[in-house]
Structure 1
């Protein structure tokens, strides 16, 4: 199989740099292709509780890692089972599968990757590089899709609604429940960066302020 042995020469710079012994600082964004989830966007737009909107967005974002990992264990035409979430994930899962199929054909990785036991260190490294790259690309596409489709609606939210949205996202990504969340929307402010890291940093800043005046930093889970 071609891919488990390492990226094809013409693709190598996109994945791990020209020197395969160097770890790429950041996966590249990959080829352009629309990531379309219109039914999912409609469902999210129609949820009135912004905490639940955040929770659903967090669930979809969180599921990308496992969807990519399972897909690489199969051939490129693999179809994942929809993930459990607070909203239907059938369309989202199918969109992720279609995008992974496109990326794997583009990279020449149509065959399944052997599991970690069956391959040597070079093969495991190649699989990890593709996995990290595909996760980054799909998370970026999803975040951009949310920003483009829901950004206008999010800009009309009150600060309290934004805090609830952030809390819903963070509940899924980190499992934390801070008493105070930032009044700026993680979807609009963090962009393509790690939403969990962005939220943790902002919540830690707010938590320090709360602790100094003797107030609780975390809610009961």
Structure 2
């Protein structure tokens, strides 16, 4: 069956926001005299539970800490680190090729609509997408709800769609919804297990979209 739709994760897939978020949390932990264990980060990356999980972990190491007081500080640091953010290398070529082929495009992200849409606008990517599905309106990954909603929004079946993800949680969600899934890990997630993915690419530049579609 020919491919009619592509569904992209946002954080870490279309743009490497995850590096900035991780750096912010590492700085926060170090400012309080402790280190953030990477295995704790990997346990929640790609889900909706990152912020509460990080604050809960920090509270274990630093009793009496006030997450509400720290939240504006960590948020401001992330935005400062993201000021020079651009799309991941090769993403624009994929999106242009997809549009040339008349494919429908969606974003399926566990993050909030405010976060995703503002960054899509800032990156100049919003114009490519026919639908943006986010975690404030749908159950977050690894639940398949975001991908099922994306298929519904695009009027496509799972057999007609390909998902692009950068985390194992995201791959699990896409596969549970029945999509073919291409994992494109970033520097933060490259060491994780992507055994569930149908294809694993080291980057978007490693294989043109035309070659992937012909496969």
| Structure number having the greater strand percentage | 2
**After TM superposition, is the score higher than 0.5?**
no
Q: More helix per residue: 1 or 2?
A: 1
TM superposition score normalised by structure 1: 0.31
Larger radius of gyration: 1
